[in-house]
Structure 1
Amino acid sequence: MTIRKTLAGVVAGIACLASHGAAAQGASSFPTRAIRIIVPFSPGASDTQIRTLGPLMSKRLNGQPIVVENSPGGGGIVGANIVRHAPPDGYTLFFTGAAGLTLLPALRADVPYKLRDFVAIGNVSSLPGVLVVRADAPYRTMAEIVAYARKHPGKINFGSAGVGTASHTFGVGPQVFGDFRFTHVPYKGMADVIQAILAGTVDAGFAIPGLVMPYLQAGKLRAIAVSSAKRSEFLPDVPTYREAGIDYVDGESYGLVGPKGVPPAIVKQVSDALAESMKAPEFVNLMQKLYTSVDYVAPGPYQEMLEARDRSWHEYLANPAFRQLMQQ
């Protein structure tokens, strides 16, 4: 009996070693073909980020091509579903904003996925929302615009790229936690909102820095506050909401995730390639031109960051006032 047990243990050990060896061999040979990265937006600034990183990452991933595919639709749902249903082998990845992984499932009952359906690979960039008004607007500070809005509820209107978008949430939070009200006017995109502000059709907007910096520099728009926890490196003189007395932090970040179940060794391999590629001068220079902060976050901390954001959205949306404004 002892001999049989011993033999069984030896066989099990050999099988275990063989299994680990096969897994290691699979990870070390990855990739052996092209990697597809789905982007859930139409071509634009975020698309440019990953398209610039693709060839740089390819050099660090056995020279295999990285193919970026735009799959817009449903506020990001179409692209997310492609990745969610893909085999978890590292050959189909997802470059997207954190809001699409956390806010959208919390806000909309028709979203068929949750954050838990994805595995974090690495954060790439981060950017705040910027509250802007026309340069000749009567309010120059957050305190002034809040005071006016409290005295005249709903008289100030703000434009966004649509309900549930980052440009919408950037404006909802301050209203709830600052106890004032604007009137929301949704547009097809933030480019339309900016033109409406310049024309005087809309009073304010909440946009990412890259969209408004040319107008700020030309003296056509004025920045009132930023939504991030700290001041933007591109707008160091503009205070945060918190500095203006409103305890609310918001912002968007873009990163790479895969379908749940991608082996940790492959996650690390892709993340390491991403981190090194982000140091390349061509990428750093691009981000400066886009007024977007380079912000690499490794898989573990990035997963924690997304989970914290997911919890925050559920907490915010549990507030009746927040949820009501998010649906307007």
Structure 2
Amino acid sequence: MNLPVRHRVATLSRRRFLAMAAALGAAPKASAANDFPSRAIRILVGFSAGSPSDLLARGVAEKMQNHLGQPVVVENKPGAGGIIAARSLLSAPADGYTLLVVSAAHAAAPVVTRNLGFDPVRDLAGITRIANVPSLLVVSPALGVKSLAELLGRMREAPGKLNFSSPGKGSANHFAGEYMLAEAGVEAIHIPYRGVPEAVSAVMAGDSQFSFVPIPNALPLIASGKLLALATSTGERSKVAPDLPTVAEAGISGYRFDPWFGLLASAGVPGEARATLIAAAVKSLSSPDLASRFGTAGAEISALPGRRFDEYIEKEIAKFRYIATRAKIEPT
């Protein structure tokens, strides 16, 4: 059907107008995505200041802001083994401006918490694993034991009389302790505290007899004689404490517990924003300066970006379920 020239021109003009309007309407969205980030980014930490999560978050934040061109600030929201901070992340807009540093306790949360309120796999998305941080089994020198064998002997002599501290139920330190007890066939009472510094102070004060403590927190206190290290939780000896045996070497064959830390975002963060965050985080972790700083504290950088980190967390959840079953840890 042939339209009059005037009608054809009007039709083409209208189409051209609608196309332009659609392009202009989409422009702000595209611009917003391309301009990410255009303001400060927050990194939430579920543990107190001075904890390994806090120390790692601040190191990564310092480097990331150089790559992103915007401030990256750390905000501590301690409590419930990191669950409070995770819920805060999920209550914020899923725009990439709020992130979360987690410990291995993140994978333990669905195992020990009956009504968690979120799914660690479905609701959160990996930016990158940051580092592995060995935990050391420590006691107060006043306890009078100098080896893991002697500590286990004390527990066998008085089942359930000794206790151990951790920065909260479901924390990696809690699971490291329960796993050791289960594998050794001994009993001790778990006492949860608000954070790592508080759990360490309990051992030094004699309120708790032992604890698994992240190596950055433990080393200065060991050097000053306030704590005595008996073993390291990891499968291999720590590079900064090579003379210290692993728990397996010290007498509990097969024991291995490798605590890790990572950076997450909400699963709803747009793909381009997430890709920008992943690139900035991985570049930050490749910094020799950061590797040196973390290494001095006993943390070993172990980047695992994006989907690979998501898959790793799924495997870690399965591992914690096994430990919980073995140690008879019931969800509450």
Question: What TM-score comes out, normalization by structure 1 length?
Answer: 0.80
Question: Is contact 2:103–2:172 with CA below 8 Å preserved after alignment?
Answer: no
Question: Is contact 2:133–2:299 with CA below 8 Å preserved after alignment?
Answer: yes
Cα separation, 2, equivalents of 1:216 and 1:148: 22
Amino acid of the structure 1 residue aligned with 2:114: A
Q: Identify the match of residue 149 of structure 1 among 146, 155, 177.
A: 155
Structure 2 counterparts to residues 172-321 of structure 1, below 5 A: 172-243=178-249, 244-319=251-326, 321=327
Cα separation, 2, equivalents of 1:103 and 1:241: 21
Cα separation, 1, equivalents of 2:97 and 2:168: 32
Cα separation, 2, equivalents of 1:129 and 1:86: 32
Amino acid of the structure 1 residue aligned with 2:312: M
Cα separation, 1, equivalents of 2:36 and 2:28: 12
Cα separation, 2, equivalents of 1:31 and 1:136: 52
SS at match of 2:329: helix
Say if 1:315 and 1:219 are closer, same or farther in 2 by CA, change over 3 A.
Answer: same
Partner of 2:109: 104
CA shift, 1:257, in A, is 0.8
CA shift, 1:121, in A, is 0.6
Q: Identify the match of residue 67 of structure 2 among 60, 72, 75.
A: 60
Deviations 1:170-202 (A, max 9, x none): 211111122111233444544344444344443
Q: Give the percent of matched residue pairs that are identical in Structure 1 and Structure 2.
A: 32
Say if 1:273 and 1:248 are closer, same or farther in 2 by CA, change over 3 A.
Answer: same
Q: Identify the match of residue 171 of structure 2 among 165, 170, 181.
A: 165
Cα separation, 1, equivalents of 2:239 and 2:30: 42
Question: Is contact 1:174–1:246 with CA below 8 Å preserved after alignment?
Answer: no
CA shift, 1:216, in A, is 1.7
Number of residue pairs matched by the alignment: 306
Partner of 2:94: 88
Instruction: Name the larger-Rg structure.
Output: 2
Say if 1:195 and 1:36 are closer, same or farther in 2 by CA, change over 3 A.
Answer: closer
Amino acid of the structure 1 residue aligned with 2:147: T
SS at match of 2:48: coil
Deviations 1:277-322 (A, max 9, x none): 2233553343245332222222232112211111112222234x43
Which moved further from structure 2: 130-139 or 107-116?
A: 130-139
Q: Identify the match of residue 114 of structure 1 among 107, 119, 126.
A: 119
SS at match of 2:152: helix
SS at match of 1:228: coil
SS at match of 2:248: coil
Question: Is contact 2:40–2:97 with CA below 8 Å preserved after alignment?
Answer: yes
SS at match of 2:59: helix
SS at match of 1:242: helix
SS at match of 2:328: helix
Question: Is contact 2:166–2:211 with CA below 8 Å preserved after alignment?
Answer: yes
Amino acid of the structure 2 residue aligned with 1:102: A
Partner of 2:10: none
CA shift, 1:271, in A, is 1.5
Say if 1:188 and 1:268 are closer, same or farther in 2 by CA, change over 3 A.
Answer: closer
- Structure 2 unaligned blocks of 5 or more: 1-22
- Structure 1 unaligned blocks of 5 or more: 1-17
Cα separation, 2, equivalents of 1:70 and 1:42: 6
Question: Is contact 2:60–2:284 with CA below 8 Å preserved after alignment?
Answer: yes
Question: What TM-score comes out, normalization by structure 2 length?
Answer: 0.79
Say if 1:318 and 1:233 are closer, same or farther in 2 by CA, change over 3 A.
Answer: same
Deviations 1:112-147 (A, max 9, x none): 112121010101122122111233655433233324
Say if 1:87 and 1:215 are closer, same or farther in 2 by CA, change over 3 A.
Answer: closer
Question: Is contact 2:141–2:226 with CA below 8 Å preserved after alignment?
Answer: yes
Say if 1:73 and 1:27 are closer, same or farther in 2 by CA, change over 3 A.
Answer: same
Q: What root-mean-square deviation, in Å, do the aligned CA atoms of Structure 1 and Structure 2 show?
A: 3.1
Say if 1:306 and 1:29 are closer, same or farther in 2 by CA, change over 3 A.
Answer: same
Cα separation, 1, equivalents of 2:231 and 2:114: 32
Say if 1:195 and 1:28 are closer, same or farther in 2 by CA, change over 3 A.
Answer: closer
Say if 1:182 and 1:71 are closer, same or farther in 2 by CA, change over 3 A.
Answer: closer
Partner of 1:37: 43
